[in-house]
Structure formats: C-alpha cells, structure tokens
C-alpha cells in the first residue's frame, strides 16, 4: 500500500510546508538524501501548543504535537519528491522543551516515530533517532522535529 493511501486510511491530510520563518529552505537535497528543516506542529492560523513538557504540557499532549510536527515534515517530503519516492527514513531528530527534571523525551518523540511507521510501514518507516531536551523552541513550541530520508529522485 502506498504512503498516501495509508494517510487516507488514517484520516490524515498532508499540510503544505509552512513558509520558512528565517533564511533557510524547507528541505535540501544531498545525493539521494532529503534533509527536511525543523518543523513544529504549527498550522495556518494555529501556532501549535505552547508550553513546557512536565510543567504545563503533559507527555501525551506533547506526543500529539510530535505527531502533528511529523505531518508537517511529511508535507515537505511530499512537496520535494512525493511520499511514494521515499525508500526509507534515515534519521529523525526531536527536540522537546521540558523542565529541567523532565526525562521522558523518547516518549514524546514516539508520537512522531509511530506516525512514520504507520505511514511507511516497518521497512521504510524504521529510522535512527535522537530525542533531545532543550530550554526553548521557536514560537514557544513544546516539540520540534527534523528528518533525513533516502529518496528516489
């Protein structure tokens, strides 16, 4: 089954990549690798959930934000090459804005990882991953993600 069909089965629509808020591009090619710039859960007219995980944002809320941010990454992949050109995901990096005591970063980023596995399946959707805690993120977001994918050009 194609990635687009899986998205439809999940009842999910891909957003268009949001315009950059700085001097960068939404994605960049390096050989057959597509490097996708950082994405939060923002949507047109909706900035995404602001806050700090472990203080005013729960792990579950942050995982939902990671899932939405992952959809934004997939929107950029679709714009660059089409989801069905993805041979496999290489690396997903997640940044979690958490309290100094918060230590469940992997549980938050699982929201994105699970979506990638649902969309691409176990073979193409499996990926290396990093989950990092940070003091702040753009727009006060609680989660930001970036992605590297191997893509047929």
- Contact of 89 with 116, CB cutoff 8 Å: yes
Q: Give residue 73's domain range.
A: 3-17+30-151
12 within domain boundaries: yes
Q: Identify the pLDDT of residue 73.
A: 97
24 within domain boundaries: no
83 within domain boundaries: yes
Number of H helices, E strands in the chain: 3, 5
Closest to 94 in 3D by CA, of 43, 26, 143: 143
Number of domains in the chain: 1
Q: Identify the pLDDT of residue 126.
A: 98
CATH number for position 122: 3.30.1330.40
> How distant, in Å, are the alpha carbons of 42, 49, 70, 73 from that of 115?
17, 19, 7, 11
96 within domain boundaries: yes
Q: Identify the pLDDT of residue 43.
A: 83
Helices 59-80 and 105-125, interaxial angle, to 10°?
40
86 within domain boundaries: yes
pLDDT in tens, 79-93: 999 999 999 999 999
Residue 28 to residue 100: CA distance in whole angstroms: 33
25 within domain boundaries: no
Residues lower than pLDDT 70 in the chain? none
135 within domain boundaries: yes
111 within domain boundaries: yes
pTM of the model: 0.96
Find the radius of gyration of the CA atoms of the chain: 15
């Amino acid at each position: 089954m194609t990635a687009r069909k899986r998205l439809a089965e999940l009842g999910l629509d891909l957003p268009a990549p949001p315009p950059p808020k700085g001097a960068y591009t939404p994605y960049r090619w390096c050989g057959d690798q597509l490097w996708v710039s950082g994405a939060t859960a923002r949507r047109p007219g909706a900035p995404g959930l602001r806050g700090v995980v472990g203080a005013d944002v729960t792990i579950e809320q942050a995982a939902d934000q990671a899932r939405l941010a992952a959809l934004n990454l997939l929107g950029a992949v679709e714009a660059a090459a089409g989801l069905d050109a993805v041979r496999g995901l290489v690396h997903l990096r997640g940044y979690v804005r958490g309290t100094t005591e918060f230590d469940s970063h992997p549980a938050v980023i699982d929201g994105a990882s699970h979506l990638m596995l649902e969309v691409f399946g176990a073979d193409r959707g499996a990926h290396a991953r990093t989950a990092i805690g940070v003091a702040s993120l753009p727009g006060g977001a609680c989660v930001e993600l970036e992605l590297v994918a191997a893509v047929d050009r």
